[in-house]
Structure 1
């Protein structure tokens, strides 16, 4: 197994542990989950801080991959944004460790470097979505009287609250049906009605 693949496998194992508890992310536990000895893990991550950096990179890669796939599967910017939200919902459902990680004091606490790293990931994700919204405004599909950033926050608002309930219910609540209904309201709110009427 090459180094990058092994690093990703280790980060995936840490993310699985995060679904149970952030405190479960230790070098020993992650090594055990990967079925390797801790000394082998140290070849890829020197300490727990670096494992959290690997988690940050893993989450970033999954978010960017979702944006790439959403753009490939749809043609109109509005459809891409809706697809992105559904993919985001599926990601949070498949990896419950992500919301646990994002709301953990291990991320939002005193470690400013760790917090800034995860904030940079979310900022990049929002900018990517905002550029899609801007394209929708340029083509006339999305209302031009609202800021692209506001479109993105409305989009995230369709996903985050139901996903938070999923997190609070410890997986008993499936957020995806509610998110699909929310997206209908999102589309109604941001779609350029003049285009709809003309077509």
Structure 2
């Protein structure tokens, strides 16, 4: 960061810290990110950083809170006013893809937290995010069944798991390939295949 970061308000400094961590996570293993690296990215001393966060765990909590708030808000905004459940599902899918494309460090951090064997607050926050995300998907899938857009015998639980797993698969492939843009290129065709698998036989997008 530049000289301006040294003169931010407390709230702005905390947001800047979160953004710095997300940026660093897009460049390296999130578990290897140190408070020294965060402070250096922001052009601060560790002492200045710790005036806003008591430790690294508190920083991770702030990051997970930011991710949850922004991802769910963007999904809710994207589906607002869409009457078709299938179109709403597509909006959720593409909005999630856009979010990851803009912040490739986010999925790295989520995967890193979920892989931790110990129970931590950041890990529980990721689990809560997935729970709220899953609830939104289930509502849309049930609405799709009720409105006749989706197969009446559709297993909503399995369909929600597959939806999230499909996005995770796209993310992992893009990370392995080192090509973040790939996720946006592949997303429309992948969603079309997902939709064909859950829709009524006579239904089309």
TM range, smaller chain: 0.7 to 0.9
Task: Output the TM-score relative to the length of structure 1.
Answer: 0.85
Task: Confirm or deny that 1:100 pairs with 2:129.
Answer: no
CA RMSD of aligned residues (A): 2.3
- The gaps in structure 1 that reach 5 residues or longer are none
Task: Give the corresponding residue for 2:118.
Answer: 111
Per the alignment, in what secondary structure is the counterpart of residue 20 of structure 1?
Answer: coil
Task: State the distance in 2 between where 1:107 and 1:157 align.
Answer: 15
Q: After superposition, where does 1:14-53 map in structure 2 within 5 Å?
A: 14-21=21-28, 22-53=30-61
Task: Output the TM-score relative to the length of structure 2.
Answer: 0.83
- Give CA deviations for 1:150-185 in whole Å, capped at 9, x if unaligned: 222232243221211111122366122222101111
- Across the two proteins, how many residue pairs are aligned to each other? 195
Task: Confirm or deny that 1:145 pairs with 2:188.
Answer: no
Per the alignment, in what secondary structure is the counterpart of residue 182 of structure 2?
Answer: coil
Task: Give the corresponding residue for 1:13.
Answer: 20
Once the 2 structures are TM-superposed, how far is the Cα of residue 139 of structure 1 from its aligned partner? 2.1
Q: 1:129 to 1:5 in 2, by over 3 A?
A: farther
Task: Confirm or deny that 1:188 pairs with 2:158.
Answer: no
Q: Is the 8 A contact 1:66 1:87 kept in 2?
A: yes
- The gaps in structure 2 that reach 5 residues or longer are 1-7
Q: Is the 8 A contact 2:82 2:88 kept in 1?
A: yes
